[in-house]
Structure 1
Amino acid sequence: MDGERCGKGRSRFTQVAVAHPSTIAPMRISWTYAFIDRPREAFDAACDFWTAVTDTRLSELRGEHDEFVTLLPDDADACLKVQAVGPGSGGAHIDFCVDDVPEFAATAVRLGAGVVADLGSLVVLRSPGGQLFCADPWRGQSSRPGVVRGSRLDQVCLDVPAPAFDREVSFWSALLDGWESRPGSRAEFHVVEPPPGLPVRLLLQRLDEKRPASAHLDLACADVPATRARHEELGAAFVAAFPGWTVMRDPAGGTYCLTARDPATGGLRG
């Protein structure tokens, strides 16, 4: 995709108290996680593929039904997790790690988000356009994993139906303090880029077709054909090619994109 190119939670739903707007100050995002959401029946296949692609190893399983696992790099802090979800092809979502989860959630609600679940230390939210995301505590993460064989999984692309696009751009631009919000290289893209050091950025893609909001993963690739060949060796399948990006399907059935961007910076290759 452009270069720039959640269901999580138990059945306990509560409302987060919303502070008066004048009491809410923008909050710094200290770390980010990209979640790879895949169907339960394909969870193992997803874990095998994405650990190979990102040169990571699996943590211990977590959750009431062993539905969560972290992809652990060597000599850096993790920024990728896999979640087993219900039927379907899955997708992706992003977690924001902050010092004050209730305050961040209150800010999101004031800007138009809805609360899906309040699990205490973690709050699941839905953007005005229907994108799920989470807020959880920052635990000191600061060391970003490096580039792996010429590529880096560094972007969650929000696939937004056209009627909701402008509202989504406004929401994410206001919520993510200190992130640079700017139009992408094509009219249908908008980039929300974090400060240096944070591992995952956002791209919003305007869709012409009517469908529910969704999200997918993007990798920045120094050599898209070479990365595609390696991914196919690991079990991925080619879906389609466009100028600047190639759409792939992983062995768990989820689609993602290989993008012609600099893996070190995330920017378009000049």
Structure 2
Amino acid sequence: MHVRWLTAFLDFPAAEFGSEVTFWRAISGSTVSPPRGPSKEFASLDPFNGDAHLRVQRIAAGPGGTHLDMHVDDPASAALEAVALGAREIADYGTHRVMASPAGGRFCLVEWAGEKRRSRPIRWPGGTISIIDQICYDVPAAKFDAELAFWTALTGQDAPGDVDRHTLTRDPDLSLQVLLVRSDNASGATYLDVAASNLPVEVERHEDWGATVVERRHDQVVMADPTGRRYFISARNPRTGA
């Protein structure tokens, strides 16, 4: 499968949609595209340079979440390949296929529309540089090895790392990198990760927009946005993701 582009999709309940879009637009330094879709439920968070790699969706039911869109030439044939590798097809909407990985991680296969220009990190007042550049799958420990094998086969990317954390080798032409983390939780979860040059300053900027600190780690802070959605801010190079 030739993955042409990656997009992180934020799925928001209708009651939270407006405030959530405002928060994520602000911390990513984006503008919001005109809405699209049958019920005007989709929009892109357009960066000031490059092609969009963050999108939002208003959902009718459920708590929402985060999922990955993989942009390919032919979603139908890509879905067959993914199923052969162990994925499960959840829905076929014609324009895109909703899939689940062997461990249950949600992703969609969508038709590539020519996206190719990676956005650059933003230098904020105060000097910190940051960008949302990573999507993290927390994978239950018992399913981790199978999940790692699935993602490396599906994308054709290696996954160097230690026992518990593997980042798929980043294609310099793609907007996001994918991180798999072995988890003690019985069910998986998906999070966005912000790379920041100055962790304390970046955390303060997010707090100013209504986020709260959940946990401080050595080189990472677990955050909750104003409605409680968790995400990470990491001390990584915003230009390379390392």
- Using the size of structure 1 for normalisation, the TM-score is 0.84
1:91 aligns with 2:69: no
1:219-251 per-position Cα deviation (integer Å, ceiling 9, x unaligned): 111011010000001111111111111000111
The CA distance in 2 between the partners of 1:66 and 1:213, in whole Å, is: 30
Q: Is the 8 A contact 1:39 1:252 kept in 2?
A: no
- Using the size of structure 2 for normalisation, the TM-score is 0.93
The CA distance in 2 between the partners of 1:43 and 1:245, in whole Å, is: 27
Change (3 A) 1:74 1:209: closer
The CA distance in 1 between the partners of 2:45 and 2:159, in whole Å, is: 28
Uncovered stretches (5+) of structure 1, i.e. residues with no partner? 1-26
The CA distance in 1 between the partners of 2:101 and 2:55, in whole Å, is: 21
The CA distance in 2 between the partners of 1:120 and 1:87, in whole Å, is: 23
> In the alignment, what sits opposite 2:92?
118
Q: Is the 8 A contact 1:43 1:252 kept in 2?
A: no
1:78-136 per-position Cα deviation (integer Å, ceiling 9, x unaligned): 11001223333x33111011111111111100001011111112111011100110011
Map residues 152-191 of structure 1 onto 2, 5 A cutoff: 152-177=131-156, 179-184=157-162, 187-191=163-167
Of the three residues 201, 204, 213, the one matched with 2:177 is 201
The CA distance in 2 between the partners of 1:46 and 1:64, in whole Å, is: 21
Q: Is the 8 A contact 1:157 1:217 kept in 2?
A: yes
1:14-70 per-position Cα deviation (integer Å, ceiling 9, x unaligned): xxxxxxxxxxxxx21111101122322211111001111111111122233332211
Q: Is the 8 A contact 1:40 1:87 kept in 2?
A: no
Uncovered stretches (5+) of structure 2, i.e. residues with no partner? 124-128
Q: Is the 8 A contact 2:136 2:192 kept in 1?
A: yes
Higher RCO (C-alpha 8 Å, min separation 6): 1
1:130-169 per-position Cα deviation (integer Å, ceiling 9, x unaligned): 0110011111111111102311101110011111111100
Change (3 A) 1:87 1:102: closer
TM-superposed deviation, 1:75: 3.2
Of the three residues 191, 200, 205, the one matched with 1:216 is 191
Map residues 29-178 of structure 1 onto 2, 5 A cutoff: 29-85=3-59, 86-88=61-63, 90-149=64-123, 150-177=129-156
> In the alignment, what sits opposite 1:235?
210
Aligned-residue Cα RMSD (Å) equals: 1.3
